[in-house]
Chains A and B, each alone.
Chain A
C-alpha cells in the first residue's frame, strides 16, 4: 500500500515537473539507480504435476527508492534471449513459473527490479533449472496415513461385528424414554406419531430414523397402539411401510397392521409441516417422534406438538435445528446419538462396526490432541516435530 502510494507520488511529481515549463529548460530527471535483487535460486517445484519452476531471491535493499516490483524473465540458454514470464509487486521474494513449456528441459531465469523512476536492475542469471512431475506428494503423507488408519479401523470393527464378536455400546439416555413414551400412548389410548425426517432415503439420518421406526413399530404392535407415519419422500414412504409391516409380522400379529398408518403426505416442505400439524391438532397423539434430518420446520413441528401436550422425542444430526428440538421436546438424541441409538436398537453388524470405528477414531484424535499439545509445549525441537506432523503443503 505504502509503496504504491509512494510510487504514485513519484509519478505525480514527474508529471507535474514535466507539465510546468521551467525558467530554464530543466534537464529530464535522471532515473535513480538501485541495487539489484540478489541470491536468485531456481529449482523444480516439489510435489506437483510438473511444468513449474520455483524461484526465490533476496529483494533489492533499495526498494524504498522506487522499486515497484520485479519482472521475472526466462530463457532457454544462459545468454538469452530472455522473455518476461511474470511480475510480482515489491516486498516479495518468490515466484512459481507455472507456465514452463516442457518438463525435463533446461531453463535460465533473471529477476529485474523495475519502477517508474528507476533504471531497471537485474540479478545475474540462475539456472539451469528443470521442471518435473512427481508421482507422490510427500507433503501429504500425513493425510494418506490418516486415511489408511481410519479405513483400517472401520474394516476391523465391521469384520469383528460380522463374526459375531460382542461390541459394547452404552445405553443412551434418550432411548429409555422410547419405551416409556410408547407405554404412555397405550395407557391413554392415543396414537403414536413418527416423522422420519425430511431427507431422502440416501441420507444416513433417514436410515437411522427408519431403524428406530422398526423398533417403535414393534413396541406399538406389542401393545396394540395405533401408529401414524406421515412421509415426505415417496421412496422413504415405501421403505417405512415395509419396515412397519415387517415389525408387526415379527411380533406375530401381521393382521393387526393398519394399512392407513403409513402414508405419503406431500413433497413440499411447508405443505408437509402443515399436514403434520393438522394431524397433531386433530388426532392428538400421546407421543411424537421426530427422527432424521430436519430443516426450518423443526420448531414449527415441535412447538405444535408441545402445545398438544404430547411427550416428544426428537433425534437429528442437523446441528442448526438441534437447539429448537432441545427446547421444545422432552428428549433429544443429538447428532451421533441418533446413529448410536439406531445401531443399539438395530444390532446390524455394519452399523455397530462403523459406530465402534468412529468411537476409536475419536479416541485417537483426543489422544493425539493431548500428546501433541504436551510435545509442542515441552520444547522448540518437539514443537517443530508436531508442526511437521500436522503440516500440509
Chain B
C-alpha cells in the first residue's frame, strides 16, 4: 500500500477527515474545516463573479467596444447600494422592481406553458394510450394511475371545502399517493447521501491511500 506524495491531495484528505470527525462529536477541527470552506468559497466566488460577469459583460464591452449604453443598467444596479443610506434607501426599490417585473414577465406565460399546460396534456387519458397499454411512460395503465393521482392530490390540497363525502374519499386517496411519493423520495435520498460518502471514500482510497486501483 502506497500513499500519495501530492501535498494538495493530502490537504484535501485531511480536511475530509476533519469534517468526518463531526460524526463523533462537534470539535475544533470540524469548525476549522467548516470555516475554511466558507471563507474560501466566498473568495472564490468573488474572483469568478469579477472575471466571468463584471469583466466580460461590463468592463470589456464598455472599455474596448465603447458600448456606453451598458452603463445605464450598471447605474441602476448601483442603486442597490443606497440600502446603506436610510434616508435614500427607497431608491433600492427601483432595481428590485425592474428585476421582479422582467422576471415575472418572462416567467408567468412560460411557467403556465411548461408546468401547467404541458403537464395537463401529459395527465389527460387519451386514445393514443391504448396503443401500448403497459408502456411505463405513455401506456394506459400509467396514464390512469397518473390521472387519478393528480386529481386526488389536488383535492387533498383544496382548502375551500371541508373534507366530507366524496371529497373526503378523494383526499384520502390523494394523501396515499403523496405518501408513496415521499417514500420514493426517501429511498432516492438515501442513495444520494450514501453516494456522497462513497465519492469521498473513493477519493481517499484511490488518490490518497492507493488501496483501490
User: In the complex the two chains form, what is the Cα distance from A368 to B123 in whole Å?
Assistant: 11
By a CB distance below 8 angstroms, the chain B residues around A319 are 185
User: How close is A209's CB to chain B, nearest CB, in angstroms?
Assistant: 18
**In the assembled complex, how far is the CB of residue A175 from the closest CB belonging to chain B, in whole angstroms?**
12
**B38 lies within 8 A of A337 (CB):** no
| Residues A366 and B155 in contact in the complex (CB < 8 Å), given A268-B34, A271-B34, A376-B127 | yes
A110 close to chain B: CB less than 8 A: no
Hey, which chain B residues are within 8 Å of A324, CB to CB?
186, 189
Does B162 lie within 8 Å of A377, measured CB to CB?
A: no
Q: Do A392 and B118 touch (CB < 8 A)?
A: yes
The answer to whether A2 has its CB under 8 Å from any CB of chain B is no
B113:A365 contact, CB within 8 angstroms:
no
**Contacting residues of chain A (354-380) with chain B, CB-CB under 8 angstroms:** 355-356, 359-360, 362-363, 365-366, 368-370, 372-373, 376-377, 380
A140–B109 touching, CB < 8 Å: yes
- Given A359-B158, A362-B157, A383-B126; A373-B147 close (CB under 8 Å): yes
Residues of B within 8 A of A369 (CB): 120, 123-124, 147, 150-151
**Are A270 and B159 in contact, CB atoms less than 8 angstroms apart?**
no
B161 within 8 A of A: yes
Inter-chain CA distance A390–B183, complex, in Å, is 32
Q: Provide the A116-148 mask, 1 if CB < 8 A to any CB of B, else 0.
A: 000000000000000000000000101110110
Interface size on B (CB < 8 Å)? 38
Task: Output the least CB separation between A364 and chain B (Å).
Answer: 10
Most chain A CB neighbours (cut-off 10 Å) among B120, B150, B185: B120
For the complex formed, measure the closest distance between the CB of B157 and the CB atoms of chain A, giving whole angstroms.
5
Within 8 A of A (CB), among B135-190: 147, 150-151, 154-155, 157-163, 178-179, 182-183, 185-186, 189
Contacting residues of chain A (316-344) with chain B, CB-CB under 8 angstroms = 319-320, 322-324, 326-327, 334-337, 340
* Nearest CB in chain B: distance from A294 CB, A: 13
Contacting pair A373 B125 (CB below 8 A): yes
B65 part of interface (Cβ distance < 8 Å): no
Interface assignment of A274: CB less than 8 Å from any CB of chain B: yes
- Picked from B110, B117, B185, the residue with its CB within 8 Å of the CB of A323 is B185
Q: A360–B158 Cα gap in the complex (Å)?
A: 8
Q: How far is the CB of B176 from chain A (nearest CB, A)?
A: 13
Complex contact A323–B157 (CB within 8 A): no
> Which residues of A have CB within 8 Å of B108?
147
Question: Which residues of chain A are within 8 angstroms of B159 by Cβ–Cβ distance?
Answer: 169-170, 172, 336, 340, 355, 359
A380 to chain B minimum Cβ distance, whole angstroms, is 8
Across-interface contacts of A386 in B (CB, < 8 A): 124, 126
Given A271-B34, A340-B159, A376-B127, CB of A365 within 8 Å of CB of B109: no
Q: How far is the CA of A380 from the CA of B128 in the complex (A)?
A: 10
Once the chains bind, are A360 and B160 in contact (CB under 8 Å)? yes
Whether A150 is near chain B, meaning CB under 8 Å from some CB there, is yes
Does A16 lie at the interface of the complex (its beta carbon under 8 Å from any beta carbon of B)?
no
By a CB distance below 8 angstroms, the chain A residues around B178 are: 334
Q: Within B97-140, which residues are at the interface with A (CB < 8 Å)? A: 108-110, 112-113, 116-118, 120-121, 123-127
The answer to whether A323 and B182 touch across the interface, beta carbons within 8 angstroms, is yes
> Chain B contacts of A380 at CB under 8 A?
127
Complex Cα gap A150–B109 (Å): 11
- Determine whether B26 belongs to the interface, using a CB cutoff of 8 Å to chain A: yes
- Inter-subunit contact B117/A147 (CB<8 Å): no
- CB neighbours (8 Å) of B161 from chain A are 168, 170
Residues of chain A with a CB closer than 8 A to B163's CB: 170
Residues on A with beta carbons closer than 8 Å to the beta carbon of B26:
274
Of the candidates B38, B109, B154, which one forms a contact with A147 in the assembled complex, judged by CB atoms under 8 Å apart? B109
Chain B contacts of A150 at CB under 8 A?
112
* Interfacial chain B residues near A142, Cβ < 8 Å: 117
Interface residues of A (CB under 8 A from B): 140, 142-144, 146-147, 150, 167-170, 172, 268, 270-271, 274, 319-320, 322-324, 326-327, 334-337, 340, 355-356, 359-360, 362-363, 365-366, 368-370, 372-373, 376-377, 380, 383, 386-387, 390-392
- Taking A319-B185, A390-B118 as known contacts, 5 extra A-B pairs with beta carbons closer than 8 A to each other, sorted by chain A number, are A143-B109, A143-B117, A170-B159, A369-B120, A392-B113
Q: Which 8 A-B pairs have the closest CB atoms?
A: A376-B126, A323-B182, A323-B186, A373-B125, A390-B121, A146-B112, A359-B160, A373-B124
Spell out B's residues near A (CB within 8 Å).
26, 34-35, 38, 108-110, 112-113, 116-118, 120-121, 123-127, 147, 150-151, 154-155, 157-163, 178-179, 182-183, 185-186, 189
Selected A-B contacts with CB under 8 Å, 7 pairs: A172-B159, A323-B182, A336-B157, A336-B159, A355-B159, A390-B120, A392-B117
